[in-house]
Structure 1
Amino acid sequence: MTKPWTYLSLKAVFQYMDGNKRLELNFHCPALRSAECSVPLNLQCLTFEKEKIVANGVCYKVEWYQNHKGSKKWRQKKWGSKKWRRQKKVESKSLRIKTILDDRKHVRVEILKVHNSRVIPDNLKIRTRRLDSGNLNLERVFPFINRSSFPLRELRVNIAKTRNLEKYLGFTQTLILFEANFDRENAGLVRSVLYDPQIPNIVLENHFLTSNTTVTLIQNWKNNQKEIGTFLTMQNKYCDMPFPYLDETLENLNGRIAYFNYSVLQNLNRSCISFPFNQTSEVVLYSIKDGPSGKRRTKLEVMPIGSTGPGTFFDIFINLLPLFLIFLLLTIILLPSIL
């Protein structure tokens, strides 16, 4: 007769077991819950929504059903599995969804998305590197984050929901600002964040900067002597190049048309705009294509001086080629009428 595993042996096994397998065992094996919950749960991605939790792409949710006797019960389902667990009826689905992560002391997640905070157990503290607070006020999400997570590698926030965002700038290395519907009234709040001395690296979703804002931002970076690697990325789904006042900005900041040196060129358009910064670095404005979709992002970054140069004859020829082709096409069209 084989001996049952000891508590310490079970903990050692759970430590190296797939996270979703552990959650399924927790549902169906009450005798193992104490050992399983005592071991940190490691997940790549965890999403909290109104009526479900998604862990590593597997959805866990609660549904009501009516049996043949007419009474209502609830069942907790792991999508893709035929196994069920039944309990007594409760008033709120969110209370039952909380039991998925109940009694856990440590949950570690690479990417955490919180779209609804009511389904998170009250005493749970999650350790994460990347946090997306969705359309919630960031202050409703922070109580569930383990303090050892800070500074986060990345924080995504709805600028319209978190009005006092300035006091959280030191909590992350990269801040992603977005809003569900573009509102010009939030432009002032975006500028106040951009100009803050403790500003981290920032990504703007569905925002673009005016010439005056860009000039002030670069001057702010100069005043605060931002380190090499500091960047601002602008993403806009309505236009490929969210930088409509290039000529004016060049004039105000003594910028020049430049080209990346091949030593720093990595899947970038070689042409760029360079602005003088200090003796060791320069500020460079350039664009990047997002994978197969071809959508462009515009990026402003502090780079080591010498990252760009005047370019070669071939670079200049490539830039002038579209104009030459247009001129050639017009010549072909108009030449018969002239003759």
Structure 2
Amino acid sequence: MTKPLTYLSLKAVFQYMDGNKRLELNFHCPALRSAESSVPLNLRSLILEKEKIVVNDVCYKVKSKYQRIKTVLDGRKHVRVEILKLHDLGVIPECLKISTRNLDSGNLDFEEVLPSINRSSFPLKELRVNVAKTQNFERYLGCSQILVPFVTDYDREKELIRRILFDRKSPYIVLERIGLTSDTTIALIQNWRNNQKEIGTVLTRQNGFRILPIFSPYVDELMDVLNGRIVFLNESVLQNNMDRRCLSFPFNKTSELVLYSIRDGPNEERRTKLEVMPIGSTGPGTLTDFFIELLILLCSFMLIMLIVLSLTAVAMDSIGKTTLAYFR
């Protein structure tokens, strides 16, 4: 007859068990609940919302606050999550503090979220937050290595975003659903020059240009005001899915400021980045680079001509039909 596992043996087994399997055992086997809950729960990702909980990509639909707590968090003392998305504060017991590296507080007030996060988690690796929901958010700018600020009304919160971009405590910022005018970009670059930002300081804008629009009023203004030039990234700094063509702005004797395009991030989306790089990270380019540039220009010209011809054909067809209808 097989002997049952002791309490200590159960705890050792739970320590290496998949998180979702542990939750199933906790819910269906009350006799094991005490041992399971006493072991730190380590999860890759946890999403807490009003109507559902998602643990390591497995969704648990819930009907009440009691069920939400009982399903995942009730009775636990230690929960560690690599990626935590906290969109409902009512789900977390008051005595529990979650340890995490990446926090998404959604549209919640960040100050109300803080009591639920273990102090040892700071500075966070990444923080995504609606900065307009938290008064005096500037005091928390140093609490994460990467800051992903967003606002629900950019026009109303434009000045707040400018203050966050200019603050020296935020070396790496990712703008989500926020575009920057040429005036704001110029003011930002001038601010970085005045404060002599260190190499590695980066501003990333999601949904950036696929290919930097070299021939555009936006870029022309940046180049004229900031003494920029069209260059190409050197092999030493190239990454996967990175366009070589870029803009370089003079910074100081050891650094240059580079505006470039890259496909990266969790979903490999296109992003535009402004980064302080070591001097010499860019160069004049090769014959291959100029050949590719020529092909891009030709393709762009052909695309514009096709659009013009299509619109002309539609307009002529419409005029023809109108004329026939008139004479009838």
Does residue 221 in structure 1 map to residue 192 in structure 2? yes
1:252 aligns with 2:225: yes
Q: Which residue of 2 aligns with 1:148?
A: 120
The residue number in structure 2 matching 1:36 is 36
1:189 counterpart residue number: 160
Q: 1:240 to 1:118 in 2, by over 3 A?
A: farther
Give the corresponding residue for 2:90.
118
1:181-216 CA-to-partner distances (Å, cap 9, x unmatched) read x43011111001111121231111111212222222
| CA distance in structure 2 between the aligned counterparts of 1:205 and 1:241, rounded to whole angstroms | 18
Percent identity of equivalent pairs: 65
Residue in structure 2 matched with residue 67 of structure 1 by the alignment: none
Inter-partner Cα distance in structure 1 for 2:250 and 2:158: 27
Give me the whole-angstrom Cα distance separating, in 2, the residues matched to 1:241 and 1:311.
16
Task: Please show how residues 40-189 of structure 1 align to structure 2 within 5 Å.
Answer: 40-63=40-63, 93-100=64-71, 101-180=73-152, 182-189=153-160
Q: Which residue of 2 is the match for residue 207 of structure 1?
A: 178
Aligned twin of 1:72: none
- Aligned residue number for residue 283 of structure 1: 257
Return the alpha-carbon distance in structure 1 between the equivalents of residues 245 and 45 of structure 2: 37
Q: Are 1:208 and 1:236, in contact at CA under 8 Å, matched by a contact in 2?
A: no
Query: Which blocks of at least 5 consecutive residues in structure 1 are unaligned?
Result: 64-92, 331-339
> Take 1:4 and 1:258, find their aligned partners in 2: how far apart are those partners?
70
- 1:307 aligns to what? 281
- Looking at structure 2, the residues matched to 4 and 145 of structure 1 have their Cα atoms a distance apart, in angstroms, of 37
Q: Is the 8 A contact 2:209 2:272 kept in 1?
A: no
- The residue type paired with residue 105 of structure 1 is K
CA shift for structure 1 position 2: 3.5
| Contact 1:241–1:297, Cα closer than 8 Å, also in 2 | no
Q: Give SS of 1:34's match.
A: helix
> Which residue of the partner structure matches residue 22 of structure 1?
22
CA distance in 2, matches of 1:227, 1:57: 38
Preserved contact between residue 240 and residue 296 of structure 1 (Cα < 8 Å):
no
Read off the aligned partner of 2:67 and give its amino acid letter: R
C-alpha separation in 2, matches of 1:240 and 1:54: 36
Structure 1 residues 141 and 106: CA distance shift in structure 2, 3 A: same
User: Aligned to 1:261, which of 210, 228, 234?
Assistant: 234
Partner SS state of residue 185, structure 1: coil
- The residue aligned with 1:71 is none
For the aligned residues, what is the CA RMSD? Answer: 2.6
Is the contact made by 1:231 and 1:300 (CA closer than 8 Å) also made in structure 2? yes
In 2, the alpha carbon distance for the partners of 1:32 and 1:294 equals 42
Residue type matched to 2:107 in 1? N
- For 1:140, the aligned partner's letter is E
Distance 2:135 2:294 in 1: 46
Instruction: State how far apart, in whole Å, the 2-side matches of 1:140 and 1:204 are.
Output: 23
Query: Which has the larger helix fraction?
Result: 2
Identify unmatched segments of 5+ residues in structure 2.
306-328
After superposition, the Cα gap between the structure-2 partners of 1:323 and 1:13, relative to the gap in structure 1 and judged at 3 Å, is closer
* TM-superposed deviation, 1:223: 3.1
- Over 3 Å counting, the alpha-carbon distance change for 1:295 and 1:42 in structure 2 is closer
Q: Distance in 2 between matches of 1:303 and 1:191?
A: 22
Cα separation, 2, equivalents of 1:237 and 1:227: 24
SS in 1 for 2:133: coil
Distance 1:288 1:194 in 2: 21
**Superposition TM-score, scaled by structure 1 size:** 0.81
